[in-house]
Amino acid sequence: MSVDYSVHMGPFIKCKADQMITRERDIIACGNKKCQDFQGRIQIYDAKKNFCPSCGSPLENQVVEYEDDKIEANELQEGILKNALYETSGDIFGEHDNDQHIWVANKKREGFRTFGGDPRHDEMYLEIQELDTEKELEGFKRAFESEIQILKNEYGPDNVEVVWGIFNTAS
């Protein structure tokens, strides 16, 4: 397994994602109510096993509930956004607890600043002028006008903000 560190500099979209929903999922787990593994506390992934490794009781199919973001960013990205943007908030260390999804351009667009380098090893010097950031922000808004409207429809118009900034991710 490898780790990819990246630094994003430029326009991106912040969406407030604090709306939660209860979802269900099917699991295979111990059916013994007295067992520590009962009702999905520990899920058994091996469908070939018939008995609980803790107590020896038969395994059964169970439905468990869990809290999740109301907005499924991956489904949104691959669905109506058609991969024009991608959501970067999750990382190798788990979901962030800041209740926001960060969306960035998924394709290089003409007129946007580019820079390279590995933030762990390479040094970078780049002058940033206020005029540059305003121009890039307006260009981003024009290039992704329909995608921004989709995000406003999904998250709510008051929960979507297009900004210019710098952030890093690890995936």
Cβ 168 vs Cβ 11: under 8 Å: no
Q: For 75, how many CA atoms within 13 A lie in the half-sphere containing its CB?
A: 5
pLDDT at 92: 39
Q: CB 86: neighbour CB atoms within 10 A?
A: 16
From the number of C-beta atoms within 10 Å of its C-beta (0-12, 13-18, 19+), residue 55 rates as middle
Give the residue carrying structure tokens 């468990």: 64
At 59-83, the pLDDT tens digits run 888 887 877 777 888 888 888 889 8
pLDDT tens for each residue of 124-142: 667 777 778 898 899 999 9
| Residues 59, 2: Cα–Cα separation, whole Å | 35
What is the pLDDT, as a whole number, of residue 14?
92
Q: Per DSSP, what are the bridge partners of residue 164?
A: 11
DSSP letters along 10-59, please?
A: EEEEEEE---EEEEEEEEEEE--TTSTTBTTTS----TT--B-TTT-PBE
Residue 25: CB atoms within 10 A of its CB come to: 12
What is the per-residue pLDDT for 150?
95
pTM of the full structure:
0.66
How far apart CA 26 and CA 63 sit, in angstroms, is 5
All structural domains of the chain with their residue ranges: 5-19+71-170, 23-67
Contact 167, 11 (CB under 8 A): no
Alpha-carbon gap, residue 82 to 28, rounded angstroms:
34
Ranges of the chain whose pLDDT falls below 50: 91-94
Q: How far is CA 59 from the centre of its chain?
A: 33
